[in-house]
């Protein structure tokens, strides 16, 4: 049976045959987003007539991960953006990269990555502060990052003109596999965020200056980024 607006599912004979870990796994397998424990608990409480809290969901996730590890499965449940998400094991990164390719259309330029890094470490931050660090105009780059939902408006500064403050989004945490901002690498690794999801490529062509004053530099491949 196909539910309107949702994934195709088979109608169960009885909810009594559904275990808590099985239900948690089903939720995570049918979404490409990070899901908070409380959200899973609410869904299970409503559908299975149980009384679960976030701790019960975390225990189910631990049970599932132990089973995955014991059986040598290719995936694991990771904590991402304060929620859970099923992801391929890190040691399979090379295999997946070879299969999917580098996805040239999904890359961030070096300028965009540097700008994103500054926002991540200094947030909330104004455009003027970002431009002061980078030494070039960053308006177009910030707009591009907002279009990709990595950066959002976080408020306005309490200073002359009340300039806009920028910060990172939940999508940013999900893309970089971070549970929260505390998981960012040490500041000494800035301005370029270094994670196992980023691969810088060398370009033999000289940098070109664009109309907005940015340099056209080598791009950075971001696995899984939506175009």
Along the 227 residues of the chain, how does pLDDT read in single tens digits? Answer: 434 445 544 444 445 689 999 999 999 999 988 999 999 999 999 999 999 999 999 999 999 999 999 999 999 999 988 899 999 888 887 787 777 655 544 578 889 999 999 999 999 999 999 999 999 989 889 998 998 889 999 999 898 889 999 999 988 888 888 888 888 887 665 544 443 333 333 333 333 334 344 444 334 334 333 33
Tell me: do 146 and 202 sit in the same domain.
Answer: yes
Range of the domain at 183: 104-222
Question: Distance between CA 60 and CA 88 in Å, rounded?
Answer: 19
Tell me: do 190 and 156 sit in the same domain.
Answer: yes
What total of structural domains would you count in the chain? 2
pTM of the model: 0.55
Question: Distance between CA 87 and CA 148 in Å, rounded?
Answer: 21
Domain membership flag for residue 98: no
Question: Distance between CA 116 and CA 150 in Å, rounded?
Answer: 8
Tell me: do 173 and 110 sit in the same domain.
Answer: yes
């Amino acid at each position: 049976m196909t539910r309107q607006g949702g994934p195709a599912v088979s109608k169960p004979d009885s909810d009594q045959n559904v275990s808590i870990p099985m239900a948690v796994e089903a939720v995570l397998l049918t979404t490409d987003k990070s899901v908070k424990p409380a959200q899973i608990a609410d869904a299970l409480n409503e559908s299975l007539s149980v009384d679960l809290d976030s701790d019960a969901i975390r225990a189910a996730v631990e049970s599932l991960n132990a089973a995955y590890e014991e059986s040598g499965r290719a995936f694991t449940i990771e904590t991402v953006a304060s929620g859970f998400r099923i992801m391929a094991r890190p040691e399979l990164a090379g295999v997946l990269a070879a299969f999917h390719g580098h996805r040239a259309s999904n890359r961030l330029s070096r300028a965009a990555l540097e700008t994103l890094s500054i926002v991540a470490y200094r947030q909330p931050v104004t455009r003027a502060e970002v431009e002061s660090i980078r030494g070039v105009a960053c308006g177009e780059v910030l707009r591009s990052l907002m279009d990709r939902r990595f950066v959002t408006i976080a408020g306005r500064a309490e200073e002359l003109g009340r300039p806009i403050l920028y910060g990172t989004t939940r999508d940013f945490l999900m893309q970089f596999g971070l549970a929260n901002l505390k998981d960012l690498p040490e500041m000494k690794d800035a301005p370029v965020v270094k994670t196992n999801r980023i691969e810088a490529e060398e370009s033999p062509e000289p940098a070109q200056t664009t109309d907005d004053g940015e340099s056209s530099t080598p791009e950075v491949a971001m696995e899984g980024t939506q175009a």
